[in-house]
Amino acid sequence: VSAARYPHVFEPVSLGPVEIKNRFYFSPHGNPYSAGGGPSDAFAYYYAERAAGGCGLLIQALATMPRRDGLGITPYLDEALPSFKATADLVHDDGAKIFGQIHYSRVGNGWRYEPGSTLAPLFGPSNVQIYDDFMVTAEMTLQMIETIVEAHRRSARNLAKAGYDGIEVHCSHAMLLEAFLSPYFNRRTDEYGGSLENRMRLLVECLEAARDGAGPNLAVGMRFNVDEMIPGGLTIADSREILARLAESRLLDFVDLDIALEPNQFEYGMPSYLFPKQVYRPYVEAVRDAVGDVPVLSVLGRVTSVAEAEEALAAGVADLVGATRALMAEPYLVRHALEGHEEDSRTCLHCNICRGRNRGMHGCAINPATGRERRWGAQSFTPAPARRRVVVAGGGPGGLEAARVAALRGHDLTLLERTSTLGGQMRLWASLPGREVFDTTPDWYERQLAKLGVDVRLGFEATAESILALSPEAIVVATGSHYVRTGESGYLALPIPGWDRDFVHTPEEVIENGVRVSGRVLIVDEEGLNTQAGIAELLASGGAEVWLVTRAIEPIANLLTTEEYATVLPTLKRLGVRLETMTHVTEIGDHRVTLSDVFTHEVREVENVEAVVMATCRMPNGRLWHELEGKAPQVFAVGDALAPRSLPEAIHEGQRFARMIGEADAPTRFIEAYTAPIDYSVFARPASTLLDA
Ligand SMILES: Cc1cc2nc3c(=O)[nH]c(=O)nc-3n(C[C@H](O)[C@H](O)[C@H](O)COP(=O)(O)O)c2cc1C
């Protein structure tokens, strides 16, 4: 319908022998959906959902050889072939093309499949210390190099046998082939080191081997780091030369351009919402003409809409534009644009929960179906066996998701919200500097609930009586949490003496009531999250002298794995925020505060304190679910109302419990859900089992 709006995106394109129906691609990313080293059923459905969602090309991150760290989905294993075939078949059913990115990582390889083993060395061209570790890579022998080349041939051959459409050799993110190219990592003096020709040798051999293994019907290309941005590393000029040589030798059907060394520059690899949009774009523009007529793919970084892709394609920046995270959050992004209802697309926050919890959890903060598409995907919203009158108390993320899911399953929904807006704590974060993106999720829910005809009652104080007066058959308590004023925390679950002084404020008072400080303010931080960092930024940019006090060893500790720290810490430092780690506030006197070192217990006094912001921990708002259990056929609590945690838990539980409403033999309360018999169908099975079904 709306293809006309995005003529460039919806114009087919050929990569070598492969025609792709549109120019939006799902870029490769490691995920834990493995079953014994091959694709699991969850893996196949995860990709099939994005194919159904309209994406033209899906590129999967696969290991060239077995890895032992859960990211090890590899076509090297002949026994995984049926599962790769099942995956390819599912994706092809929806008209998308599927490529395997085969990578040999310098990280994460070890003695294979031996639980509890010591660490095998990581391989590299030379002995170089790993950026985030004390370990040093092992210098590869010529025989090891040959093994890697043969692994490319074998993995490519197996993917071709499984019906894949292309191979992307990984030469970015400081993976092995990039390390050989890079004068920074490669200090060899043999035929694989020194001159550019020598440093390119392994890449060329792997590309040739992949092409040989893949045969004539598959596209073969590479992902490539345009600028290593490190002293002595590859520069744009080097990249132009490398790309020109490869283009001339006709070794590439496409090239997928980005930047970022892993782990040195993870903040570029997965730029958070605090990073500029399309941060790769100038780098791609700087080398684009060097590749001649070889088609260029690029995610550009933080693309969240088809309109952004259209603009970049029209400007000639690339031939295909794509995304990882935007499609993790919204599998139907492309189809919604094609059909003209983009307002139905969730907008990725780039909060990097997908990255922060990659090891073990993965998934998406705002889309709990991500990774569990077979059970929770778009096809799963069938009517519940019995239609129920449902009351959801609380319009934060958990309540919004519960109301949406229950309404989609045909129930009769009333959502009660105490304040005058929906969104709960997301609206609070959104009002902190640079964090406006957090408004997009509640905005999306507002649109969805309106479409679903949910009866939303704002300014409604939910009590046990007012809820029961609505005669609900199911109740979801999602009333959220608030910061405690007393300063109690996990470090010491006791009030901090002096907590009741009039210059002690809660974060809500700062954010909502506009409390501002001009002098010295101490933020007592036991969470290490955006509340504390954002308030520090807010007050410091207003002229206050801010001390961020935490007993943790690192400041804003929970923003480290999400890469938010990479922007937040420089901001805090530039604003002159004093980062007091390993420090506990033991007493608040008359505008003087006593600090204690958590290891030596040495005590210091801070004078002239104008204000203290207690941001230690949150407690549930009320005990509604305790009061209501047993008073309606089904009563559940979700998110912070149950136990204060974070955004993904709230949204996940909103969906999880809403799905139980009106089901036969469903739990009637939390503990029954918690102790329900294990549903073994949730465990990973090889994707090949889908072929039997
Ligand atoms: C959880 C996660 C894992 C990733 N793993 C890989 C990988 O294995 N190989 C790769 O080339 N890129 C990987 N990436 C990078 C993405 O392909 C993409 O370049 C990056 O997320 C920026 O694009 P986006 O802003 O659209 O998400 C990963 C990204 C994420 C979020």
Tell me the mean pLDDT in the region 139-162.
96
CA dihedral sign of residues 295, 299, 300, 305 = positive
Position 232 pLDDT exceeds 80: yes
Which tokens go with 191? Answer: 């035929």
Q: Coil, helix or strand for 111?
A: coil
CB of 234 closer than 8 Å to CB of 225: yes
Which tokens go with 29? Answer: 């990313």
Give the integer Cα–Cα distance in Å for 392 and 619. Answer: 19
Q: What is the 3-state secondary structure (H, E, C) of 342-366?
A: HHHCCCCCCCCHHHHCCCCCCCCCC
Q: Separation of 340 CA from ligand 1 center, angstroms?
A: 28
State whether the beta carbon of 301 lies less than 6 angstroms from ligand 1: yes
Give the integer Cα–Cα distance in Å for 221 and 167. Answer: 6
Q: Separation of 426 CA from ligand 1 center, angstroms?
A: 25
The predicted pLDDT at position 453 comes to 98
Choose among 76, 26, 563, 568: nearest CA to 331: 26
217: left (phi over 0), alpha (psi -120 to 50) or beta: alpha
Q: Coil, helix or strand for 515?
A: coil
**Which of 154-158, 510-514, 618-622 is least confident?**
510-514
pLDDT, one tens digit per residue, over 368-399 is 999 999 999 999 999 999 999 999 999 999 99
Q: For residue 660, what are the CA distances in angstroms to 445, 476, 640, 656, 676? A: 20, 11, 19, 7, 12
Q: Separation of 672 CA from ligand 1 center, angstroms?
A: 38
- Nearest 5 degrees, angle CA 101-CA 104-CA 105? 110
Q: If you search the block for the tokens 């077979």, which residue do you land on? A: 374
The predicted pLDDT at position 360 comes to 45
Instruction: Tell the residue nearest (CA) to atom 23 of ligand 1.
Output: 301
State whether the beta carbon of 393 lies less than 6 angstroms from ligand 1: no
Q: Separation of 27 CA from ligand 1 center, angstroms?
A: 7
- Does this model's pTM top 0.85? My answer is yes
Q: Separation of 369 CA from ligand 1 center, angstroms?
A: 19
In the chain, DSSP finds a helix count (H) and a strand count (E) of 24, 29
Position 170 pLDDT exceeds 50: yes
State whether the beta carbon of 621 lies less than 6 angstroms from ligand 1: no
Tell me the mean pLDDT in the region 288-296.
97
What percentage of the chain reaches a pLDDT higher than 90?
A: 89
Q: Rg of the chain's alpha carbons, rounded to an integer?
A: 27
Q: Which atom of ligand 1 is nearest to the CA of 323?
A: 26
The predicted pLDDT at position 358 comes to 43
Position 196 pLDDT exceeds 80: yes
Instruction: Tell the residue nearest (CA) to atom 30 of ligand 1.
Output: 29
pLDDT, one tens digit per residue, over 616-630 is 999 999 999 999 999
Give the integer Cα–Cα distance in Å for 231 and 247. Answer: 27
State whether the beta carbon of 303 lies less than 6 angstroms from ligand 1: yes
CB-count exposure of residue 677 (10 Å: 0-12, 13-18, 19+): exposed
Tell me the mean pLDDT in the region 598-606.
98
Give the integer Cα–Cα distance in Å for 401 and 408. Answer: 10
Strand-pair category, 166-171 with 97-103: parallel
Q: Separation of 301 CA from ligand 1 center, angstroms?
A: 9
pLDDT, one tens digit per residue, over 91-118 is 999 999 999 999 987 655 556 556 677 7
State whether the beta carbon of 354 lies less than 6 angstroms from ligand 1: yes
Q: Separation of 448 CA from ligand 1 center, angstroms?
A: 29
Q: For residue 472, what are the CA distances in angstroms to 452, 464, 628, 640? A: 19, 11, 11, 22
The predicted pLDDT at position 114 comes to 65
Instruction: Tell the residue nearest (CA) to atom 18 of ligand 1.
Output: 324
State whether the beta carbon of 258 lies less than 6 angstroms from ligand 1: yes
Position 472 pLDDT exceeds 90: yes
Q: Coil, helix or strand for 476?
A: strand
Tell me the mean pLDDT in the region 123-136.
90
Give the integer Cα–Cα distance in Å for 177 and 200. Answer: 8
The predicted pLDDT at position 359 comes to 43
Give the integer Cα–Cα distance in Å for 500 and 506. Answer: 11
Q: Which of 324, 327, 357 to mutate to test the pocket of ligand 1 (most atoms within 8 A of CB)?
A: 324
Which tokens go with 187? Answer: 């200090």
Give the integer Cα–Cα distance in Å for 280 and 575. Answer: 27
**DSSP string for 224-276:** EES---STTS--HHHHHHHHHHHHHTT--SEEEEE---TTTTHHHHS--TTSP
Q: In 453-578, which residue ranges form alpha helices assigned H by DSSP?
A: 464-468, 507-511, 530-541, 565-574
Instruction: Tell the residue nearest (CA) to atom 11 of ligand 1.
Output: 28
Give the integer Cα–Cα distance in Å for 600 and 543. Answer: 33
State whether the beta carbon of 102 lies less than 6 angstroms from ligand 1: no
Give the integer Cα–Cα distance in Å for 647 and 429. Answer: 11
Position 546 pLDDT exceeds 70: yes
Q: Separation of 638 CA from ligand 1 center, angstroms?
A: 31
Give the integer Cα–Cα distance in Å for 109 and 117. Answer: 12
- The count of other CB atoms within 10 Å of the CB of residue 119 is 12
Strand-pair category, 412-417 with 455-458: parallel
pLDDT higher at 36 or 446: 446
The predicted pLDDT at position 544 comes to 97
Choose among 204, 243, 207, 203: nearest CA to 227: 243
pLDDT, one tens digit per residue, over 312-332 is 999 999 999 999 999 999 999
Q: What is the 3-state secondary structure (H, E, C) of 422-469?
A: CCCHHHHHHCCCCCHHHHHHHHHHHHHHHHHCCEEEECCCCCHHHHHC
Q: Separation of 131 CA from ligand 1 center, angstroms?
A: 19
The predicted pLDDT at position 462 comes to 97
Please enumerate in sequence order all residues whose Cβ is within 8 A of that of 530, keeping only pairs 6 or more positions apart, or say none: 429, 432, 435, 559, 564
Give the integer Cα–Cα distance in Å for 201 and 191. Answer: 8
Q: Coil, helix or strand for 51?
A: helix
Going through 551-640 in order, the beta strands assigned E by DSSP cover 578-580, 583-588, 593-597, 603-606, 609-615, 618-620, 634-637
Which tokens go with 581? Answer: 């780690």
Tell me the mean pLDDT in the region 521-538.
97
Which tokens go with 500? Answer: 């009741």
pLDDT higher at 549 or 518: 549
The predicted pLDDT at position 637 comes to 98
- The count of other CB atoms within 10 Å of the CB of residue 514 is 7
Instruction: Tell the residue nearest (CA) to atom 13 of ligand 1.
Output: 29
pLDDT, one tens digit per residue, over 50-90 is 999 999 999 999 998 876 555 579 999 999 999 999 999 99
Q: For residue 431, what are the CA distances in angstroms to 138, 276, 324, 423, 664? A: 49, 19, 27, 12, 43
CA dihedral sign of residues 191, 194, 195, 198 = positive
State whether the beta carbon of 336 lies less than 6 angstroms from ligand 1: no
CB-count exposure of residue 117 (10 Å: 0-12, 13-18, 19+): exposed
Mean pLDDT, the chain, integer:
95
pLDDT higher at 2 or 200: 200
Give the integer Cα–Cα distance in Å for 455 and 395. Answer: 12
State whether the beta carbon of 177 lies less than 6 angstroms from ligand 1: no
State whether the beta carbon of 302 lies less than 6 angstroms from ligand 1: yes
386: left (phi over 0), alpha (psi -120 to 50) or beta: beta
Q: Separation of 674 CA from ligand 1 center, angstroms?
A: 34
Give the integer Cα–Cα distance in Å for 477 and 475. Answer: 6
The predicted pLDDT at position 113 comes to 57
- Nearest 5 degrees, angle CA 553-CA 556-CA 558? 95
Tell me the mean pLDDT in the region 144-149.
94
Q: Residue 168's beta-bridge partner residues? A: 101, 221
| Confidence tier at 357 by pLDDT (50, 70, 90) | low
String of b and e for 313-350 (b: at least 16 CB within 10 Å)?
beeebbbbbbbbbbbbbbbbbbbbbbeeebeebbbbbb
The predicted pLDDT at position 130 comes to 87
Give the integer Cα–Cα distance in Å for 244 and 234. Answer: 15
Q: Which of 262, 270, 358 to mutate to test the pocket of ligand 1 (most atoms within 8 A of CB)?
A: 270
